[in-house]
Amino acid sequence: MPATVIVGAQWGDEGKGKIVDLLAQDSDLVCRYQGGPNAGHTIVVGEETYKIRAVPSGIIRGKPSAIGAGCVIDPAVLFAELDDLEARGHRTAGLVFVSGNAHLIMPWHVALDGARERKLGNLQIGTTRRGIGPAYADKATRIGIRVQDVLDPKILRAKIELAIAEKNVWLERVYGLEPFDPAEVVATYEGYAVRLRPYVADTSLLVDRALREGKRVLFEGAQGTLLDLDHGTYPFVTSSSPIAAGAAVSFGIGPNRIDEVLGVSKAYVTRVGEGPFPSEIEGPAQERVRELGGEFGTVTGRERRCGWLDLVALRYAVRLNGMTSLALTKLDVLSTFAELPVCVRYRLPDGSETEEFPAHQSDFHHCRPVFETLQGWEEELEGPALPEAALGYVRFVGGALGVPVTLVGTGQARDAVLALS
Ligand code: IMP
Ligand code: MG
């Protein structure tokens, strides 16, 4: 697996951090390709819990870790994370590489994200309010500020003044908020420059060289397939490209350099924020899954909505990502259920049924899940082999998707992962 992408196959929070942590052991470089501090990858190492938001999870294994051009960076969050890692004994200097082309989250992005959500009221997207959408929007409008801009005080000042002139009008007139003082923002970001400078690197060249030398490169996605800006459940999506192809775009390598795509899915589904969710559990079982799975957001602490496994959505994720294998995480969360519904088809408003993800939003918004009920195993997942019924559940998923399930998560601990052959 010279170049492998690890991609979220659902709406994020699939447990990618843990899988990256596992595969990072045999990797030479770990690359985060999109998103920003909206992500929160949780890794449990013995008594220590790491909640990583900006730096690729590979850093916990002491692996060189790169942040690609497709990411957005909130310097304050990044530095706090680097400080925390250093304080816990993880070296970051010379190991963390940040693309000069990555965009910075500015204070007005955070202010605008929150203000827009408040204004949308019950039409809100339910964002993490970390400034993600506004930062990517400015990147696309070409008034964004990039990592490399902070390295040149003249460029930095000019870009901040240009952006702020426009943002302050929005903040004051549209949302009735306080304007930002350009001089203050310039001073803050000039301060960041000192810390950022040693980490800035040409991450495209870095990856290209690593691959030419036959090194193993792991690309780590954040969020998930159904939150993809182009192919997800728009507008209830994030503003970047979590799908596997996003790795090539972000790191500036050809798509033919990617060898393997490992999708990560929970044994059930969760979703944070608003938007349609066909297999969402009705009744008290939802609460039960949430409690058993600890389904509360890493970044925002919000309750995650919980659903039964949705094979229609997963089949879509197989297609969009070119998935070559699947990791099924948190299987242990289902251990106390006698019966496990799995969504195998959607029933569309016209009464027809389909195994394929609807291309039209109205079909998706109004479809109903068709469940097949599998037998539970009702025992804990301990030891090197899965109980018969648990294996049956895993095989059912792999068979329905036509993708081998190669890893199964059986508990919180770092080593609670079974490799299946
Ligand atoms: P944003 O990425 O903060 O703009 O939020 C857009 C949508 O993506 C919202 O529904 C968020 O709940 C969701 N989202 C963003 N990041 C994550 C994540 O790491 N896990 C799960 N959902 C996320
Ligand atoms: Mg998360």
| List of long-range contacts for 189-194, beta carbons under 8 Å, 24+ apart | 189/75, 189/104, 189/145, 189/150, 189/156, 189/160, 190/150, 190/153, 190/156, 192/75, 192/76, 192/79, 192/150, 193/150, 193/151, 193/153, 193/156
Asked whether 189 lines ligand 1 (CB < 6 A), one says: no
Closest-lying ligand 1 atom to the alpha carbon of residue 270: 21
Query: What is the reported pTM?
Result: 0.96
Is the shortest distance between the CB of 272 and ligand 1 below 6 Å? yes
Which of 6, 74, 128 is the best mutation target for the ligand 1 pocket, counting ligand atoms within 8 Å of the beta carbon and taking the most? 128
* Residue 216 scores a pLDDT above 90: yes
Do 70 and 39 meet the contact criterion of CB atoms below 8 Å apart?
no
The tens digit of pLDDT for each residue in 309-338 reads 999 999 999 999 999 999 999 999 999 999
Query: Where does the pLDDT of residue 65 fall: very low under 50, low under 70, confident under 90, or very high at 90 and above?
Result: very high
Which neighbouring-strand residues pair with 276? none
Q: What is the mean pLDDT of residues 196-224?
A: 97
Are 338 and 79 spatial neighbours (Cβ–Cβ below 8 Å)? Answer: no
Which range among 14-18, 72-76, 97-101, 208-212 shows the weakest confidence by mean pLDDT?
14-18
**Average pLDDT estimate for 177-185:** 97
* Rounded-to-integer distance, Cα 286 and Cα 402, Å: 28
Q: What is the mean pLDDT of residues 187-192?
A: 96
Q: Tens digits of per-residue pLDDT, 357-401? A: 999 999 999 999 999 999 999 999 988 899 999 999 999 999 999
* pLDDT score at 301: 87
Cis peptide upstream of residue 235 (ω within 30 degrees of 0):
yes
Question: Which residue has 């000019």 as its token pair?
Answer: 158
Answer whether 238 contacts ligand 1 (Cβ < 6 A).
yes
- d(Cα 376, Cα 355) in Å, to the nearest integer? 23
Closest protein CA for atom 21 of ligand 1:
12
Mean pLDDT taken over the chain = 96
Residue 132 CB less than 6 A away from ligand 1: yes
Q: Which residues are catalytic?
A: 13, 41
- Quote the CA–CA distance of 376 and 341 in Å, as a whole number: 10
Average pLDDT over residues 290-295: 97
Work out the percent of the chain whose per-residue pLDDT is above 90.
92
**In degrees, to the nearest 5, what angle opens at C-alpha 142 toward C-alphas 138 and 145?**
65
pLDDT digits (tens, 9 = 90+) for 295-316: 998 788 899 999 999 999 999 9
In 103-176, where does DSSP find H-type helix? 107-120, 132-141, 153-169
Taking the C-alpha atoms of residue 209 and residue 236, their distance in angstroms, rounded to an integer, is 37
8 Å CB contact between 20 and 1: no
User: Phi/psi of residue 199, each to 5°?
Assistant: -90, -15
Q: Ligand 1 pocket, 12 CB below 6 A?
A: yes
**How large is the average pLDDT for residues 164-172?**
97
The string of pLDDT tens digits covering residues 43-53 is 888 888 898 99
Handedness of CA 296, 299, 301, 304 (dihedral sign): negative
Q: Tens digits of per-residue pLDDT, 119-148? A: 999 999 999 999 999 999 999 999 999 999
In the prediction, which pLDDT does 1 show? 66
Is residue 34 left, alpha or beta, with left meaning phi > 0 and alpha meaning psi from -120 to 50? beta
Distance CA 190, CA 179 (A): 20
Give 58 or 317, the one with higher predicted confidence. Answer: 317
For 55-87, give the DSSP string: S-GGGGGT--EEE-TTBEE-HHHHHHHHHHHHH
The pLDDT of residue 200? 97
Most ligand 1 atoms within 8 A of CB, residue of 120, 233, 238 to mutate: 238
| Mean pLDDT on 220-235 | 97
pLDDT at 25 over 80: yes
